[in-house]
Amino acid sequence: MSPLASIRLSADGSLRKSDSVFRYTQGVVIANDGDGVSAIRVLVVEDFIPFRQYIASKLAKGDNLHVICEVSDGLEAVNQAAALQPDLILLDIGLPTLSGIEAARQIRKLSPESKILFVTQECDAAIVHEAFALGAMGYVLKGNAGSDLSAGIEAVCKGGRFVSSGLSDQYCSC
């Protein structure tokens, strides 16, 4: 079932899903945590289901982070990013249908305000450079996600850049 399948429009024009409230503003659904604080809306793109579940469970523990959609291939990532305009996209590189690099290239055009944080096992210097050259704000190695994912999300959401421990800071210079 799609994460958005249980959202309904209420009489006041807001969208509701269980105890969460969403505002519909200029064609974009904005999550609200119920306290009037806008949440960071996250699209998770990962084809390996156990790792995608791990990411979603880590995000569920964080304040102000709401997974609005999970997808498992690059083409669907592009489609959902265009439709949902998420604040943050956690994007793998090794994806079926369309690589994460190519998906990011297309997402940049269709959802230019979305911040991209790659979460991948790819550590080749050329790929890391290309990711940042495409406009990615961060790069987390899957093997370091336990220690780096939260820090990467925080840095990227504050407008900074992040490179996973184990990779050199030189990759951020793109």
Strand partners, 141: 120
**For the segment 23-45, what is each residue's pLDDT rounded down to a tens digit?**
333 333 444 445 555 799 999 99
Q: Which residue has the higher pLDDT, 66 or 13?
A: 66
Domain that holds residue 17: 1-37
* Res 37: pLDDT: 57
Measured between alpha carbons, how far is 156 from 84 in angstroms, rounded to an integer?
19
* Res 3: pLDDT: 40
- 3-state secondary structure (DSSP) of residue 86: coil
pTM, two decimal places: 0.78
For residues 56 and 137, membership in a common domain is answered with yes
Burial of 138 (C-beta count, 10 Å sphere; 0-12/13-18/19+): buried
Count up the domains in the chain and report the number: 2
* Res 63: pLDDT: 77
* Res 27: pLDDT: 34
For residues 123 and 140, membership in a common domain is answered with yes
For residues 76 and 144, membership in a common domain is answered with yes
The percentage of the chain sitting over the pLDDT mark of 90, rounded to a whole number, equals 68
* Res 91: pLDDT: 98
CB 91 within 8 A of CB 117: yes
For residues 66 and 150, membership in a common domain is answered with yes
Q: Which residue has the higher pLDDT, 36 or 7?
A: 36
**For the segment 91-109, what is each residue's pLDDT rounded down to a tens digit?**
999 999 999 999 999 999 9
Give the neighbor-by-neighbor strand order of the sheet with 8-9. 8-9, 15-17, 20-25, 28-32
For residues 46 and 5, membership in a common domain is answered with no
